[in-house]
């Protein structure tokens, strides 16, 4: 279901000194085109300046169109530029010692926009973010999700969604997973949806400061579809045509499931895949034909040809699925080619009905490492074999899969790709995708418009139309005075019906801007971006250039553009630029601000995640004197090792607590070698911990903290060091080490949460790197910021979370590599 509107929050370092005065989400939907404005006003009540943060989750399919900050009467507005020009401006700021960057993190359906700004004492800041997207109809409805986590009571809190649909609204519903019985009556459920609880209504309990507002606010709706003709809306010379005829019979399909059962699919992933296949097989219709082709380094079809989905055949297939086990390598090339060959041969031998629609659904979790392993060659082999005669849908399971490879291969063969996240609901994710493509209604749909009436029409030929979805075409009118519109729609259904009809014009009243023109631009850019990944090199370059020009013309932040915002001047000099980029599903690039990686205490490692409430944490236990590699990057020449020292007092059970007491830091390119011990950092007069900041030009910034005060009266203790990463964004993607492996992000899901044996303790299952780990929720102290951070603790020296085992990171000297 399409996601529109945001997760909105203000993550504030000291809640008692920052007051969020107002938080507003205003979403206006006109003919499925959603225009969302997020506004937040906060005040720094402290007696000194401090950083205030503004963070928003927005749909992956949305384009940011504007961002501004109002600070002390001065407005700072973002400007959309070509990505390369924006990057040069960014690099210039970084090279001069400035920090810059708007964090964008990809999640399942959302990506995160984050910005912070230094605000003077007793001053206000107002943040305004605007983005737009075309809602997609899936399974018969549109869905708007607003994730709100203000983290505190907000004096003026409001969510407003206004829906304008000329056809009329068939149904609308709104609910929130945080709504109590007392809050439910506050939600208006019409074409105007609003939710604005008072300060008292937000409270968890009378007189307490905790807020109930913490979760998703969801709006679902659909439009009236009384006619098979669809509808066209025209505003200011641009038209948009929505085509989704009701009451069409489904077209039977010939579907081949190509299932990766290689060794990496072992455990939870294989179990979830089996469960999903069992449910999918139950949903096959009697008229469908199907085949199962499990593969590892060998290809072993269930049957030599497709079978009709009779009750007996489905039951036999289910028995077979229950016996599928993981083993061996990954031969994607031969597996998909076997599926193509099976479909071609069955058609040639008349084993399947001529009217059925052919499709292949590939599920894999890894890279091809058996047979043909060159990705471009596999794509070419599959494209040539399919030759436009069937659709290929690719499902990438987990984080190790090359999603871009699958995405391009699907687009080359009239299909789509989808990432399946490692989580407790992976079975439901697989079933959900299948439901979207399980019921084709039309194939080879062609929408034709008069040449002398329209121009610059978006894609108007579609391989198939699925039940519950919708086809959208937009373009510009060459004649603004027309009062009717002739459209020919050709599509194959069960009876080979050809549609030919006349459609009346709906003249939409003004709602916001030139929404049909912006809808046309949005749709055209999305389709050009898809074309830029397939076809000849010339085709790719032409599509990229056109998409870039439209993105700049309409101020959309797309994968080809960036938004540049110049922050106000700070005490340490001129303002630095902030760069907002658009991520794609295949990219997991992250900014240094997203993942705060530290180690402090009884070697206690903490990975703070800006897009999650809880971080990740684990201990590393070993004998005193052991030296561990924390960071190594062969590309930039950065190396950080740490040696652990013992706590003088031994526990009654004989366990020795250890801490880091020495660090060795190398920058090979600059020829720098630095050793830091507790003796190298002087103790302040008031006895508080003091720190040393290490900045390596054009690469990285660390902070080392000496802890001393808490041990002054305890003769069995000694000083120790904490290590904090402040800036790692210029390290290369191959950076590794106990901390370094997390600098570029980590994908995981937590499920099955339940109370532990200790009061308020929470236990759960973490799905990460293809494994299911038992974890415990605890609080870790972030000494640098003076606060406790909730985190999921991974037991047994971080086993399953870190790559390999802790012993793999032991080095023989303070300046030695692994």
Domain spans, the chain: 18-224, 231-248+442-561, 278-436, 604-811
Structure confidence at residue 404 (pLDDT): 85
* Alpha carbon distance 581, 523 (integer Å): 19
Cα 782–787–793 angle (5° rounding)?
A: 55
* Alpha carbon distance 562, 545 (integer Å): 15
Structure confidence at residue 15 (pLDDT): 35
Burial class of residue 126 in the structure, from the number of CB atoms within 10 Å of its CB (0-12 exposed, 13-18 middle, 19+ buried): middle
Task: Name residue, tokens 């939710």.
Answer: 195
* Alpha carbon distance 51, 351 (integer Å): 68
Structure confidence at residue 594 (pLDDT): 47
Structure confidence at residue 500 (pLDDT): 54
Cα 408–445–482 angle (5° rounding)?
A: 115
Least Cα distance to 674 among 688, 663, 685 occurs for 663
* Alpha carbon distance 782, 769 (integer Å): 26
Three-state DSSP class for residue 307: strand
Please give the structure tokens belonging to residue 426: 């992976």
Residue 557 belongs to what H/E stretch?
A: none
The answer to whether 477 touches 234, Cβ cutoff 8 Å, is yes
Residues with Cβ within 8 Å of residue 133, at least 6 apart in sequence: 2, 4, 33, 34, 59, 61, 62, 63, 522
Please give the structure tokens belonging to residue 405: 């490879």
Neighbours of 83 (CB within 10 A): 18
Helix runs in 675-766, H state only? none
Q: What sign does the dihedral 644-648-649-651 (CA atoms) show?
A: positive
Domains 18-224 and 278-436 share a fold: no
Low-confidence ranges of the chain (pLDDT < 70): 1-17, 89-108, 180-183, 185-189, 226-230, 399, 483-485, 494-513, 567-595, 603, 610-612, 647-655, 682-690, 696-699, 709-717, 729, 756-761, 770, 781-787, 818
Task: Specify the fold of 278-436.
Answer: Rossmann fold (3.40.50)
Least Cα distance to 250 among 437, 487, 489 occurs for 437
Structure confidence at residue 464 (pLDDT): 87
Structure confidence at residue 387 (pLDDT): 94
What top-level class would CATH report for the domain 18-224? mainly beta
* Alpha carbon distance 6, 110 (integer Å): 8
The answer to whether 292 touches 321, Cβ cutoff 8 Å, is yes
The answer to whether 658 touches 603, Cβ cutoff 8 Å, is yes
């Amino acid at each position: 279901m399409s996601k529109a509107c945001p997760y909105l929050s203000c993550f504030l370092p000291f809640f008692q000194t920052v007051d969020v005065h107002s938080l507003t989400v205003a979403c206006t939907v006109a003919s499925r085109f959603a225009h969302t404005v997020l506004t937040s006003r906060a005040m720094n009540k402290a007696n000194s300046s401090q950083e205030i943060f503004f963070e928003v989750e927005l749909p992956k399919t949305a384009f940011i169109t504007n961002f501004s900050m109002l600070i002390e009467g001065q407005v700072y507005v973002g400007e959309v530029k070509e990505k390369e020009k924006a990057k040069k401006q960014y690099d210039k700021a970084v090279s001069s010692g400035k920090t810059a960057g708007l964090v964008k993190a990809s999640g399942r359906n959302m990506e995160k926009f984050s910005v912070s700004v230094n605000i003077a004492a007793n001053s206000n800041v107002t943040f305004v973010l605007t983005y737009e997207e075309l809602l997609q109809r899936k399974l018969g409805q549109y869905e708007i999700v607003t994730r709100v986590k203000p983290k505190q009571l907000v004096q003026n809190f409001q969510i407003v969604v206004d829906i304008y649909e000329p056809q009329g609204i068939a149904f609308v519903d709104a609910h929130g997973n945080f709504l109590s019985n007392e809050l439910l009556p506050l939600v208006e459920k019409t074409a105007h949806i609003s939710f604005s609880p008072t300060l008292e209504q937000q409270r968890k309990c009378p007189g307490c400061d905790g807020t109930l507002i913490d979760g998703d606010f969801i709006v679902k709706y659909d439009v009236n579809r009384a006619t098979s003709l669809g509808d066209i809306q025209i505003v200011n010379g641009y038209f948009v045509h929505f085509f989704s005829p009701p009451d069409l019979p489904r077209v039977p399909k010939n579907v081949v499931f190509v299932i990766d059962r290689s060794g990496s699919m072992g455990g939870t992933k294989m179990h979830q895949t089996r469960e999903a296949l069992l449910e999918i097989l139950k949903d096959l219709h009697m008229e469908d034909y199907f085949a199962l082709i499990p593969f590892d380094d060998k290809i072993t079809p269930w049957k030599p040809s497709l079978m009709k989905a009779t009750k007996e055949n489905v039951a036999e297939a289910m028995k077979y699925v229950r016996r599928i086990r993981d083993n061996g390598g990954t031969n994607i090339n031969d597996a998909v080619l076997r599926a193509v060959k099976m479909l071609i041969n069955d058609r040639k031998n008349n084993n399947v009905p001529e009217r059925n629609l052919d499709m292949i659904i590939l599920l894999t979790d890894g890279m091809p490492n058996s047979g043909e392993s060159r990705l471009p060659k596999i794509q070419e082999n599959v494209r040539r074999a399919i030759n436009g005669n069937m659709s290929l849908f690719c499902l990438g399971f987990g984080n190790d899969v090359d999603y871009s490879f699958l995405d391009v291969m699907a687009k080359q063969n009239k299909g789509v790709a989808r990432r399946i996240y490692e989580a407790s609901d992976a079975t439901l994710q697989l079933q959900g995708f299948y439901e979207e493509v399980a019921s084709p209604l039309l194939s080879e749909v062609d929408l034709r418009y008069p040449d002398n009436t329209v121009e610059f029409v978006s894609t108007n030929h579609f391989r198939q139309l699925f039940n519950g979805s919708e086809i959208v075409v937009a373009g510009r009118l060459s004649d603004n005075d027309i009062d009717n519109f002739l459209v020919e729609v050709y599509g194959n259904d069960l009876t080979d019906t050809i549609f030919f009809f006349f459609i009346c014009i709906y003249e939409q009243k003004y709602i916001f801007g030139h929404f049909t023109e912006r809808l046309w631009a949005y749709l055209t850019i999305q389709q050009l971006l898809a074309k830029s990944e397939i076809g000849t090199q010339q085709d790719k370059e032409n599509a990229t250039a056109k998409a870039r020009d439209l993105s700049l013309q309409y101020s959309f932040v797309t994968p080809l553009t960036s938004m540049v915002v110049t922050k106000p001047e700070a005490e340490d000099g001129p303002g630095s630029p902030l760069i907002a980029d658009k991520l794609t599903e295949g990219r997991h690039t992250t900014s240094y601000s997203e993942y705060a990686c530290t180690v402090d205490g009884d070697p206690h490692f903490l990975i703070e995640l800006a897009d999650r409430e809880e971080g990740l944490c684990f201990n590393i236990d070993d004998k005193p004197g052991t030296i561990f590699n924390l960071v190594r990057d062969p590309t930039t020449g950065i190396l950080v090792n740490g040696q652990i020292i013992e706590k003088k007092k031994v526990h009654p059970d004989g366990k020795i607590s250890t801490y880091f007491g020495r660090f060795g830091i190398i920058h090979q390119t600059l020829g720098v070698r630095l050793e830091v011990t507790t003796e190298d950092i002087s103790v302040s007069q008031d006895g508080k911990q003091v720190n040393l900041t290490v900045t390596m030009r054009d690469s990285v910034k660390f902070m080392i903290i000496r802890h001393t005060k808490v041990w002054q009266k305890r003769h069995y203790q000694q000083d120790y060091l904490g290590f904090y990463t402040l800036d790692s964004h210029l390290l290369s993607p191959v950076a590794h080490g106990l901390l370094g492996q997390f600098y570029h992000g980590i994908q995981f899901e937590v499920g099955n949460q339940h109370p532990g044996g200790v009061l308020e303790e929470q236990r759960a299952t973490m799905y990460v790197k293809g494994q299911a780990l038992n974890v415990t929720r605890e609080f870790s102290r972030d000494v640098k910021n003076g606060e406790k951070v909730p985190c999921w603790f991974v037991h047994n020296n971080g086993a399953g979370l870190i790559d390999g085992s802790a012993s793999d990171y032991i080095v023989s000297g303070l300046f030695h590599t692994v």
